[in-house]
Structure 1
Amino acid sequence: MATAFFPDLTRPDGGTLVIGSRHAGGAGRQRRLAEADTAALDTVPWPTGLAAVGWFVSTDGQTLLTYAQWADGAAADAGARDGRPRRPWSPHRATASTAASPGRTRHGCPAV
């Protein structure tokens, strides 16, 4: 479930932040990318060490920012090498993986 809350930058289980951006090419596609990534997270287990992931849209519709909080750098590196074709927790390839689990949250900001 997506929320309008911003991520908690001080959460104790989020020691490493991975932030990336993708060119969306328009507000409609930007929204579809964010929704596809969010839906993909509900289909498979989250990788070990992923505490939170969220997406933020730019006001001009051109950019989608991915923000992922990991337990540590090793967990973030392992998540980037996960091997699944779609990894929404990865800013370089967002889309795929995570059933909402206790203690894990997704954050987002609605399009303006």
Structure 2
Amino acid sequence: MALDALQHLGLQPASEVILESVVEEQSTGNGTLMTRLKGYKADVALIPESEGEILVRANTRVLWFQVEARGTPVNTRGMGTGMNAVDAFWRVIGALEGVGGRMEPKKS
């Protein structure tokens, strides 16, 4: 849309504009990495998001990680004598929800 508007006004961008559509940008960033490895460099990047027709200046991404619970696993008949991994992860989930709430962008 911005390029169309410039063209409609008889103007052109002051420098080269590169349009790159990448894969895996949500979960791994591999598409963006490949763009960099191909040698593309930029002073500015506009990353369209599914937010209607607005520009997003900054965004959070998906974070992948592993969590390991340590303890003695036991059969259900001896639950009080060992560790229940599901119960242990409730604390992890609660902590992550707290972090996620602080990372949510403020909409104005």
- TM-score, normalised by the number of residues in structure 1: 0.22
Greater share of strand residues, 1 or 2? Answer: 1
Greater share of helix residues, 1 or 2? Answer: 2
Higher relative contact order structure (alpha carbons within 8 Å, sequence separation ≥ 6): 1
